């Protein structure tokens, strides 16, 4: 494929005009390698290159958002500063992209995808897996969680993505905060497959991680960064991982070498 017209395309442009995907605004630098499960995805999609986050769930699989699919994907693990060649990094191509069969790119429902890697990851102090929740085990509203990613740090269109991993703390909200939100962006919110996350009173609802990155509550990846409104102090929407545990398990058992 010719590379003369490659562009860095922010994930926000892949969703509806009122929605965003993939940025941490007002977050802080994460302690280097404090989140060894984090994955940085570089995605070739037609003539464009786009980026997403993800997280390592086994030696052969990374979990991310379905809207992060593309023609070819390369996964970078063990990274803190993705602009440098750190000795901690492992760069592995993706062998197979497994989108959820009910993924809807119009409503962004069932926004989850497994990536099977070409080779087995070498687990060490820089690269580790993260635990997943139990099937249908919901996170209680009010629970403090965190999100991380290398997305843009400003809503300005010219804002460049972060080079070092950013993180922010967020709170799980009642589903009604999204279900009854007057913003039409939330008309497709589905409480069975999505989580409403943020802290509008503290203005933290805009602190979002890269699309596909994990919402970590305790030591488990409970959500996947999916979408949200461009309006300030609006909650973010995350894929509810616990709903998809049977599907994840079945796919991994079927495809595991």
| Residue 83 is a catalytic residue | no
CB of 227 within 8 A of CB of 111? yes
CB of 99 within 8 A of CB of 69? yes
The active-site residue, picked from 58, 80, 100, 111, is 111
| Residue 111 is a catalytic residue | yes
**Residues facing 208 on adjacent strands:** none
CB of 42 within 8 A of CB of 71? no
Please name the residue ranges forming H helices in 72-223.
Answer: 175-179
The active-site residue, picked from 58, 206, 211, 234, is 211
Burial 116-151 (b: 16+ CB within 10 A, else e): bbeeebeeeebbbbbebbeeeeebeeeeebbbbbbb
The active-site residue, picked from 67, 210, 234, 242, is 67
Please name the residue ranges forming H helices in 35-144.
Answer: none
CA distances from 102 to 113, 131, 173, 247 (A): 11, 24, 25, 11
| Residue 104 is a catalytic residue | no
Kindly list the catalytic residues.
Answer: 67, 111, 211
């Amino acid at each position: 494929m010719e590379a003369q017209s490659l562009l860095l395309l922010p994930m926000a442009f892949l969703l509806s005009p009122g929605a965003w995907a993939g940025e941490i605004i007002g977050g802080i630098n994460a302690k280097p390698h404090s989140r060894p499960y984090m994955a940085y995805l570089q995605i070739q999609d037609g003539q464009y290159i786009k980026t997403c986050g993800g997280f390592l769930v086994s030696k052969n699989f990374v979990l991310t958002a379905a809207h992060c699919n593309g023609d070819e994907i390369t996964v970078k693990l063990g990274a803190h500063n993705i602009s440098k060649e750190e000795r901690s990094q492992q760069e592995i191509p993706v062998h197979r992209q497994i989108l959820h069969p009910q993924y809807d790119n119009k409503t962004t429902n069932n926004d989850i995808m497994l990536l099977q890697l070409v080779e087995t990851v070498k687990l060490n102090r820089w690269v580790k897996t993260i635990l997943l929740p139990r099937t249908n085990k919901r996170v209680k509203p009010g629970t403090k969680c965190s999100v991380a990613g290398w997305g843009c740090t400003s809503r300005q269109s010219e804002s460049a993505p972060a080079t070092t991993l950013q993180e922010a703390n967020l709170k799980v909200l009642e589903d009604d905060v999204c279900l009854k939100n007057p913003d039409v962006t939330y008309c497709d919110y589905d409480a069975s497959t999505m989580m409403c996350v943020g802290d509008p009173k503290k203005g933290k609802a805009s602190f979002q991680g890269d699309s596909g990155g994990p919402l970590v509550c305790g030591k488990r990846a409970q959500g996947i960064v999916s979408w949200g409104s461009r309006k300030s102090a609006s909650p973010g929407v995350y894929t509810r991982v616990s709903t998809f545990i049977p599907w994840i398990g079945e796919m991994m058992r079927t495809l595991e070498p």
